Amino acid sequence: MNAFLTYDSPSATTGILFSLKGLGLAFLVYFPLYLVRGMGAGDVKLMAAVGAIVGWVLWLWILFFTAILGGITAVIVVLSKGRVHRTLQNLWMILVSLRYGQAPYATNPELDVSSDQGVRLPHGVIIAVGAIGFLVAKVIWP
């Protein structure tokens, strides 16, 4: 008999389902952002990997931390570059485009994540800092 299997642990199926739920939720949230070119494929894969590691419940907390950190970073970058008015115009254009079922980048190339015209954030770094920050906070305040 294999010594590993005699340990009283969750079954492999339970672990796989745990990971698939986290991966699936992350993919469902981030893939549409990739489709409208608001996020790179690497960001989608990174968040899916984080979801697979921590599961869907903790992934939601990491998403929250990442969103807050990303929002703060975005405000700092927009203010420092003096692009508040242009950013608000772009946000309005995104909302209008999505309302009519159009991709925002089709009418404004500045809204394509691969364009050099717009202001970009290193979202992978923000994901990493948000995930690590959450996990450290979880250890400190269980």
Residue 2 lies in a domain: no
Q: What is the pLDDT along the chain (142 residues), one digit of tens a residue?
A: 444 444 455 676 788 999 999 999 999 999 998 988 888 899 999 999 999 999 999 999 999 999 999 999 999 999 998 989 988 988 898 888 888 888 888 888 777 777 777 777 888 999 999 999 988 988 898 7
- What is the pTM for the complete model shown? 0.79
Domain count, the chain: 1
CB neighbour list of residue 15: distance below 8 Å, 6 or more residues apart: none
Residue 104 lies in a domain: yes
Q: State the residue range of the domain holding 96.
A: 12-140
Is the Cβ–Cβ distance between 114 and 96 less than 8 Å? no
Residue 3 lies in a domain: no
Residue 120 lies in a domain: yes
Residue 53 lies in a domain: yes
CB neighbour list of residue 43: distance below 8 Å, 6 or more residues apart: 30, 33, 34, 123, 124, 127
Residue 5 lies in a domain: no
Rg of the chain, C-alpha, whole Å: 19
Residue 56 lies in a domain: yes
Residue 66 lies in a domain: yes
How far apart CA 35 and CA 90 sit, in angstroms, is 18
